[in-house]
Every structure is written in C-alpha cells, then in structure tokens.
C-alpha cells in the first residue's frame, strides 16, 4: 500500500478542498522593438479600465497621456497583475505589485550596425569617409550620458531659470546659449529628448544626422564631450570599446562635423560656412521655441514617440 496523502487527487480535487493561496514571482527581460505598437496596445488597455471616485474621465485622460509618453507606463498598464490574472481561468487576484526597471545591460552591436570595408590590408576602411563602430559607440555613449544629465537637470530644477550664481549646479542645460536659460520645463524636456533621438539613430545603424536645430546643438555637445573623454581618459575609452574593430577613421571628429552636419537644413544657408559657423548663424537667427521645427528636407520624427523620463 502506498503512503497516505492529505492532498486530494483527481480532477475533482479543487472542488473538495480549500483553494490554495499561491505567491508567484515572474521576472521578465523585455526589449521594446516597436514603441508605436506598444503605445497603441497600452492606450487600448486603458480604455477598457473602469475608473471610479472623483473625476473618472480626468483619471482616464491622465493615464492615457502617461502611457502615450512613457514606455515604462505603457508596460505597466499591460503587465498589471490584475490584467495578467484576468486572462487565466480558475484563479482570482488577491493583490500584487509591479516593478519595472530599465537595465543597462543592453548595448547595440556597433560592429554589426556599422560594418567596415574589410578590403584594406589591415582591415581599415578604404574609399569614402565612414562612421566606424568605435566612433559610433563613443558618440552613442556621450549622447545617452547627456540625455541622462539633461533629465537630471529637469528633475532637480524643473522650470527654474539658470543664473550666473547657480550655473555650476546644472549639468547640461547651462551649457546651452544664455537666451535659453529662462525657458520652460517642456522645452527643456524636448532638449533632453533630442539627445535620445540621435542616440536612437545610432542604435538603429543610422548616421545621427540632425533634423532640427536642437539636434544640431545636441550633436555638437556630444562630439565635444567625446573628444574630451578620449583625450583625458584614453584607457577608459579603450575598455569601453571591447573587441570592436579598429579603423583608420576611428574618432575622426572633424570628419564627423563635415559629414553629419549640413545634410539637412535651410536651403539658403551660406555654403562657405563650416559646420560651427553655420550652426552659430542659425542659433542667432532662431528663437529657442523654433529649435524643434523639422528641417524641410528631413523626415519628421514620430510626434508620439514620448519621452524616456
């Protein structure tokens, strides 16, 4: 005879016993590959929710706005424990929490995204100038770093004006022209997103060609910081590169300025001006509110792409 078991067996066991309470922990690694699709799904999920209390319509509108701007909020709406449990028959939710954090482990494969012409004797590029894997990697790192710092400025100072006395308390926004020091919070948030937009271009294997004046300023800062980091911490940069292939055009910042700026822009720009002079002229002639107007010959970025923070 087998040992006696206190746990009922068979298809009718659940009806004959008290329901078990189980705590389940699920850890997911997720990479967002289609933000518009994720945003649409999150908005649809919010539309299905029932809101109670004061101003249900206002609550719904606020959450719709949040999931439309923030990928983390969109994931939160779709991965909420109540929503996940509702899709499983035979159970009910007793409560739960959802925690979402951004991982730093993922990095684009720049060797694959920016392949080199390997016909040269030493594997170096031949022919026309190219954006190399190592240059793209360092530039991407600086753009992400600047975006993080700009968002930090925003969270710490909100819409406070920048002053000479407190200039050192700002990580990035005080480096912009003085005429921008009194700009409002939403403008500053768009500046932070400009760094991310260019970084996203690199993450997709595309050259970070500025499509508006704000992106020209963002790229200028990133190139300056990349040049400075390479000069002050060459070993740190070498460690960052890992096994990315070496090329003759690595860290050619003058080449970056020549090739990345001026692809898009006003048709009446003086062709005799170099990249720095051209951007300075545009900055002098353009009010900060106009920094985000897409150049006529450039493709407009998705207006619903949201913000990282």
Tell me: the pLDDT tens digits for 17-62? Answer: 456 788 777 777 777 777 778 888 888 988 888 888 788 888 888 8
Predicted pLDDT at 171: 93
- Do residues 215 and 194 touch, judged by C-beta distance below 8 A? yes
Q: Which of 67-76, 136-145, 269-278 has the lowest mean pLDDT?
A: 269-278
Q: Report the C-alpha gap between 277 and 279 in whole angstroms.
A: 6
Predicted pLDDT at 5: 44
- Do residues 240 and 138 touch, judged by C-beta distance below 8 A? yes
Predicted pLDDT at 103: 58
256 vs 89: which has the higher pLDDT? 256
Predicted pLDDT at 277: 82
Q: Report the C-alpha gap between 193 and 185 in whole angstroms.
A: 13
Predicted pLDDT at 125: 42
Mean pLDDT, the chain, rounded, equals 84
Predicted pLDDT at 270: 67
Q: Report the C-alpha gap between 123 and 248 in whole angstroms.
A: 9
Closest among 233, 238, 275 to 257, alpha carbons compared = 275
Predicted pLDDT at 190: 95
Give residue-wise pLDDT tens across range 235-286.
999 999 999 999 999 999 999 999 999 889 876 666 677 777 888 888 888 9
Predicted pLDDT at 18: 59
Predicted pLDDT at 93: 75
Predicted pLDDT at 120: 45
| Phi–psi pair at 57, nearest 5 degrees | -65, -40
């Amino acid at each position: 005879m087998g040992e006696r078991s206190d746990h009922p067996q068979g298809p009718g066991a659940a009806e004959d016993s008290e329901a078990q309470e189980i705590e389940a922990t699920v850890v997911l690694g997720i990479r967002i590959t289609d933000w518009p699709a994720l945003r649409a799904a999150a908005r649809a999920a919010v539309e299905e929710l029932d809101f109670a209390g004061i101003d249900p319509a206002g609550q719904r509108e606020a959450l719709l706005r949040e999931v439309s701007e923030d990928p983390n909020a969109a994931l939160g709406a779709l991965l909420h424990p109540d929503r996940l449990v509702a899709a499983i028959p035979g159970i009910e939710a007793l409560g739960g929490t959802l925690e979402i954090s951004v991982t730093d482990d993922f990095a684009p494969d720049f060797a694959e995204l920016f392949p080199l012409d390997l016909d040269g004797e030493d594997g170096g590029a031949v022919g026309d100038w190219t954006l190399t894997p190592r240059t793209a990697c360092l530039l991407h790192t600086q753009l992400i770093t600047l975006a993080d710092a700009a968002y930090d400025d925003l969270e710490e100072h909100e819409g406070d004006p920048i002053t000479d006395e407190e200039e050192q308390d700002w990580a990035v926004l005080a480096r912009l022209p003085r005429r921008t020091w009194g700009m409002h919070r939403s403008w500053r948030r768009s500046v932070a997103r400009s760094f991310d937009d260019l970084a996203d271009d690199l993450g997709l294997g595309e050259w970070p060609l500025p499509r508006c004046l704000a992106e020209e300023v963002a790229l200028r800062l990133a190139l300056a910081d990349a040049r400075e980091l390479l000069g002050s911490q060459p070993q740190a940069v070498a460690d960052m590169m890992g096994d990315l292939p070496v090329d003759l055009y690595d860290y050619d910042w003058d080449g970056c300025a020549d090739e990345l700026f001026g692809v898009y822009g006003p048709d009446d720009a003086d062709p005799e001006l170099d990249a720095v002079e051209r951007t300075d002229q545009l900055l002098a002639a353009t009010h900060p509110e106009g920094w985000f107007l897409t150049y006529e010959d450039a493709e407009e970025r998705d207006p619903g792409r949201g913000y990282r923070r």
